[in-house]
Amino acid sequence: MKENKEIIPLDFEKPLIALSKQISELEQKTRTLQNGNKKLVEDLKLQYSKVKSEIYKELSPLDKVKIARHPQRPYTLDYVEKISPVWYELHGDRTGKDDQSIIGGLIEIDGQTVMVIGTQKGRNLKENQKRNFGMPSPEGYRKALRLFHHAEKFNLPIITFIDTPGAYPGLEAEAKNQSQAIALNLRELSGLTVPVISIITGEGGSGGALAIGVANRILMLENSVYSVISPEGCAAILWRTKDKTQEAANALKITAKDLYELGITDEVIPESEGGAHYNPDETSRNILNAIRNHLEELLKLTPEEVKKDRQDKIRNLGVFSTN
């Protein structure tokens, strides 16, 4: 990912853009008039910092969805490039197709070879057509399954990066048994004896995300979301109008903070202020540190303990105590 010099602002960031423009204009005048506007510039900078802090502290669940979908947000290959000196990509499902919406391959973390599997979106229309907008087909999930088995055979830990609106819902995907491909991945992942760490980096959409997300540890970036349905889809079903999208986002409890508090996920990984797209390097370092910590813990377990740990985690999801 090339570093973006100019970030595309989201709607709730527009006050910051206006203030930033004012500051730049006044700084230009200050250079011309020397001391004239220095005090005003300093006051505006203080105001900018205050507004910025308030905006990012008070983000609604729907605001988080917008950040998770930001077109400049880093994707799986961007993180792979930053966290590992090695990337050896593995292609194809061995039944006829290489679905580019799921990528997989070998990386190295502190001398440990690791299998990485992740969803991948594109940066423009041509790339998104190639990547199918990050929505995997059955062939993509079968590619992932092949790599799960490869990792199991060679005793390699698995890290999955998830950023997808969901599995591709088209007629062709259904004809090729999309639901069976997802179900098979759920079954096989739950029985692996190597550690699996899943990281939600953007959108974690329903079964399309879960098909590579049955893990010992589920981590979420601070501004990512994870849900059974999108807020827009939920609003359309419950209220038959997109005007209720905000209410749906609030009710679904889809943010990293909500899911951590509910015990669904194991860690919230901090992002740079405003989102990972503002500072991909910082966010990548945070991801790498989290991976190291959880891998160190999981690699101490025996293969059977790893499998039991994952299965216990799955069985305990949604269990609440009244005490």
pLDDT attached to residue 66? 94
The pLDDT value recorded for residue 51 is 76
Q: What is the pLDDT, as a whole number, of residue 52? A: 78
pTM: 0.90
Predicted pLDDT of residue 29: 67
Give the rounded percent of residues in the chain with a pLDDT score beyond 70.
92
Q: What pLDDT is stored for residue 322 in this prediction? A: 65
Res 35: pLDDT: 56
Mean pLDDT of the chain: 90
Residue whose C-alpha is closest to residue 134's, from 103, 104, 160, 158: 103
Residues in a beta bridge with 99: none
What is the C-alpha to C-alpha distance for residues 96 and 93, in angstroms, rounded to an integer?
7
Q: What angle do CA 120, 188, 162 make, to 5 degrees?
A: 20
Task: Read off φ and ψ for residue 311, nearest 5 degrees.
Answer: -65, -40
* Residues of the chain with confidence (pLDDT) below 70: 1-5, 26-39, 41, 320-323
Burial class from Cβ neighbours inside 10 Å (0-12, 13-18, 19+) for residue 128 reads middle
pLDDT tens digit string along 28-52? 666 655 555 666 767 777 777 777 7
Q: Give the model's pLDDT for residue 36.
A: 55
The reported pLDDT for the residue numbered 4 is 47
